[in-house]
Amino acid sequence: MVIAYISLGTNLYKKYENIKNAIAYIAKSCKILDISSIYLTSPLENTKQPYFYNCVVKIDTNLTPFSLLKLAKDIEKLMGRTYEKERYQPRIIDIDILFYGRKIINTKNLKIPHPKIQNRKFVIYPMEEIAKNFIHPTLHKKVFTLRLQLRKDISQYIKLVIPRKNILNYFKKLKLKLN
Q: Which residues are the active-site residues?
A: 81, 91, 94, 96
Angle CA(46)–CA(48)–CA(54) in degrees, nearest 5? 70
State which amino acid sits at residue 176: L
Positive or negative torsion for Cα 52, 41, 116, 55: negative
**Cα(129)–Cα(127) distance, rounded to whole angstroms?**
5
CB 59 within 8 A of CB 97: no
- Please report which helix (H) or strand (E) contains residue 55, including its range: strand 52-61
Report in angstroms the alpha-carbon separations of 40 from 10, 25, 52, 108. Answer: 10, 22, 6, 30
What one-character-per-residue DSSP string does 38-54 give?
A: EEEE--SSS-SSPPEEE
Side-chain half-sphere of 70: how many Cα atoms within 13 Å? 6
